[in-house]
Structure 1
Amino acid sequence: MNQPITIIGIGEIAAVLARAFLRNEYPIFPVTRNMDIAVAVNEVPEPLMVVVAVAEKDYPLVMESIPDPWRDRLVLIQNELLPDKWEVYRIENPTILSVWFEKKKGIDTNSILPTPMYGPHAKVIAESLEGIDVPCKVMASADDMLLELVQKNVYVFTINIAGLFLDEGTTTSSLWENHQELALKVANDVIDLQEAITGQTLSGEQLLEGMVKGFKGDPHHICKGRSAPGRLTRAIQLADEKGLEIRYVRDLGQQFE
């Protein structure tokens, strides 16, 4: 029998991963919100991997409570991931996914783009997801994966922040076709912010091309999700921490108050 896989969280993305792993003959040990992780580790002290599939707001508390036997087995899938988000917890060499598929109640899994991943468990995860028709790509290096994380951040921050200032229900295709100037100004500020956080010089042209691929991959995606106001606030807070101007996004923030 294959080693079990622990999944912390039981949301829609966790459900897709669980189905993929089960289809690939890996037993699943779920850790739900009401379970004590310190107790759960005694049940499965040596899983193949531990997937942290909780919401972004729950991520810090969960990461602080990861027991020692699980620390070198982590798989992280949250939006807004960058190395500082795991290094602050002294986690080394986790497996990272930049999730480009969606699953909502009553709707089949929707893949916008192939989901990139990197790390010790990337091969098993890709094999499992592709077994349920979710396209993936395993990256060759940590640097390549960092670019993928930044790419997803540019996409998510741009559509969410821009969506706050457009009609309810505005889609990514409408954003790009009818409000391209807004999208580009927000995206350029987000790219500046990503450069400051990562300490890397990034290709703005490449990131904008990737963002447009995301728009085309799911043209009916609604720009403004529930997390949009929080993302605008976080972008400004992060810019404050880095001493970064991002004037356009700051101006939008003042309008939103």
Structure 2
Amino acid sequence: MDQPIVIIGMGELGGVFAKAFLHAGYPVYPVTRKMNIDQAVENVPDPLLVLVAVAEKDFQSIMQTIPVPWRDCIGLLQNELLPRDWKSYHIDDPTVISVWFEKKKGMDYNVLIPSRVYGPKATVMADALAGIDIACEILSTEDDLLYELVRKNVFVFTINIAGLALADGASTANLWGQHNELALAVADEVIDVQQWLTGASFDRKRLIDGLIEGINGDLQHKCKGRSAQGRLERVIAVADEAGLKIPRIWEIKGAIGM
């Protein structure tokens, strides 16, 4: 029998990955918030992969509790993820996937573009997802991963924050087609913040092209989700810390009365 895969957090995304791994023949051991993680380690001392599938807001608290036997086989999938987020917990070589599909309660998953994955268990993850018709590309270098994480962050922050200035239910097609200047202005400021967070410089045109690819992947994708205001607040907090000017994002904050 194949080594088991542990999934911490069995929300919508965790459920998709569980389905993929089970379909591929891997035993899956779920860890929910009600379970004792130390007991879970005793039950599964040598997993192939420990996929941390909790929401962004729970990421830090969960990472603080990852037991030593599991720390060398971690997988991560959160939005807003950057290398500093796992390195701060002394996780040196995780398998990281930039997820480009969404799963909402009561609905099947919706693939925008192929997800990108890098790390020791990248092939395991990509093959499992392919088995349930979710396309995935395996990246070759850490630099490729960094670009893909930043590209996804630019997409998520741009459509969420710009979406706050639009009518409820506005789609990415509406944002890009009718409010293109707004989208580009927000994206440019988000890139400034991402460059400060990573200490790296990026080809802005390439990131904007990547943003457009994501938008074209599902033109009916809703811009504004439940996390939009939180993302606005986090971008402003980082910009303040860095001394970056993000006037268009501040303008949106003022317009919605935050």
Which TM-score applies when normalising by structure 1? 0.98
Q: Does 1:218 align with 2:218?
A: yes
Corresponding residue of 2:35: 35
Corresponding residue of 2:162: 162
Question: Structure 2, unaligned stretches of length 5 or more?
Answer: none
Displacement of 1:160 in angstroms is 0.4
Displacement of 1:254 in angstroms is 3.0
Q: Does 1:196 align with 2:196?
A: yes
Question: How many residue pairs were aligned?
Answer: 257
**Cα separation, 1, equivalents of 2:241 and 2:60:** 18
**Cα separation, 1, equivalents of 2:242 and 2:34:** 37
Displacement of 1:255 in angstroms is 3.0
Q: List structure 1 runs of 4+ shifted beyond 6 angstroms.
A: none
Q: Which moved more, 1:58-67 or 1:99-108?
A: 99-108
Corresponding residue of 2:115: 115
- Does the 8 Å contact 2:117/2:137 carry over to 1? yes
Aligned letter for 1:233? E
The Cα offsets for residues 93-123 of structure 1, whole Å up to 9 and x where unpaired, read as 1110000011122322211010000000000
Corresponding residue of 1:53: 53
> For 1:72, what is the secondary structure of its paired residue?
coil
Identity, % of aligned pairs? 53
**Cα separation, 1, equivalents of 2:135 and 2:179:** 30
The Cα offsets for residues 149-199 of structure 1, whole Å up to 9 and x where unpaired, read as 000000000000011111000000000001111100000000111111111
Corresponding residue of 1:77: 77
Corresponding residue of 1:68: 68
Q: Does 1:146 align with 2:146?
A: yes
> For 1:7, what is the secondary structure of its paired residue?
strand
Q: Does 1:97 align with 2:101?
A: no
Q: Does 1:251 align with 2:251?
A: yes
Displacement of 1:92 in angstroms is 0.5
Aligned letter for 2:254? Q
**Cα separation, 2, equivalents of 1:104 and 1:246:** 32
**Cα separation, 1, equivalents of 2:76 and 2:106:** 25
Q: Does 1:233 align with 2:252?
A: no
- Does the 8 Å contact 2:165/2:255 carry over to 1? no
**Cα separation, 2, equivalents of 1:249 and 1:120:** 38
Which TM-score applies when normalising by structure 2? 0.98
**Cα separation, 1, equivalents of 2:56 and 2:28:** 22
**Cα separation, 2, equivalents of 1:104 and 1:255:** 29
Tell me how large the CA RMSD over aligned residues is. Answer: 0.8
**Cα separation, 1, equivalents of 2:249 and 2:102:** 27
**Cα separation, 2, equivalents of 1:253 and 1:84:** 27
> For 2:82, what is the secondary structure of its paired residue?
coil
Q: Which moved more, 1:240-249 or 1:149-158?
A: 240-249
**Cα separation, 1, equivalents of 2:157 and 2:102:** 17
Corresponding residue of 1:125: 125
- Does the 8 Å contact 2:10/2:54 carry over to 1? yes
**Cα separation, 2, equivalents of 1:251 and 1:191:** 17
Corresponding residue of 2:5: 5
Displacement of 1:90 in angstroms is 1.1
> For 1:195, what is the secondary structure of its paired residue?
helix
